[in-house]
Structure 1
Amino acid sequence: MNRRKKVVYWIATLWLSLGMLSTGSVQLIKQKQEVAMMTHLGYPLYFLTLIGVWKILGVIAVLIPKFPILKEWAYAGFFFTMSGAIFSHLFCHDGAKDIFGPVLLLMLTVISWYFRPANRKTITKYLV
């Protein structure tokens, strides 16, 4: 993997991890704004705990060495969670400020996944 790709991967992955860790933490502690947002979107409040725990575990899975299948699941979870958040906000006719965070995290998820090193991929084992 050339240096440029490695730098792009680590920048995207660290920003993704920071974003998922921070949003997962505020969801886990049921911060007032998060409770209001979940209520506005029509989701039960226990989703905050569920999504918060999943995000934190996903960050751990993406950052630890090895376990490529676990990483794939974490990236998929991030993708589904963020795309679901985007569609939920669109469905509720929320503005761009409400959609910006999930869009950014979705983009970072895709960039991090795309530029991940070969030893963090599962598909290379089956193609070789």
Structure 2
Amino acid sequence: MKKRDKIIYWIATVWLSLGMLSTGIVQLIKMEEEVQSINALGYPTFLLPILGVWKILGVIAILIPKFPLVKEWAYAGFFFTMTGAMTSHIIVGDEMITLFGPTLLLALTITSWYFRPADRKTLK
């Protein structure tokens, strides 16, 4: 793996991890703004801690060595969660600014996945 690719991978992965960890914690503790946001999207509040726990577990899976299949599932979960968030905001007619967070996290997910080292891939 080229040094440039390693740098891109780690920058994207660290920012992705920070973003998912922080939003996961916010969802886990059911911060008032997050409760209002998920209710405005038409989803029940009980989904917040579920999403929060899975995001935190996904961050752990991506950061720890080995377990490439678990990493693939974590990346897939992040991809589905962020595209679902983007779609939900569009469907309810939210302002375009609400797409910034999920779009950024989606871009970081794709970048981290694409540039991951060979020992973090299921097929080498």
Counterparts of 1:69 and 1:112, CA distance in 2: 15
- Shift of residue 63 of structure 1? 0.1
Deviations 1:47-93 (A, max 9, x none): 10110000000000000000000000000000000000000000011
Residues 113-128 of structure 1 aligned to structure 2 (within 5 Å): 113-124=113-124
Aligned residues: 124
Report what 1:64 is aligned to. 64
Backbone CA RMSD of aligned residues = 0.4
- Shift of residue 97 of structure 1? 1.5
Opposite residue 72 of structure 1, the aligned amino acid is E
Runs of 4+ in 1 over 2 A off after TM superposition: none
- Shift of residue 96 of structure 1? 1.8
Confirm whether residue 92 of structure 1 aligns to residue 89 of structure 2.
no
5+ unaligned residues in a row in structure 2: which ranges? none
Report what 1:107 is aligned to. 107
Opposite residue 9 of structure 1, the aligned amino acid is Y
TM-score, normalising length: structure 2: 0.99
Report what 2:26 is aligned to. 26
Counterparts of 1:102 and 1:66, CA distance in 2: 27
5+ unaligned residues in a row in structure 1: which ranges? none
Report what 1:73 is aligned to. 73
Identity %: 65
Counterparts of 2:96 and 2:18, CA distance in 1: 21
- Shift of residue 95 of structure 1? 1.1
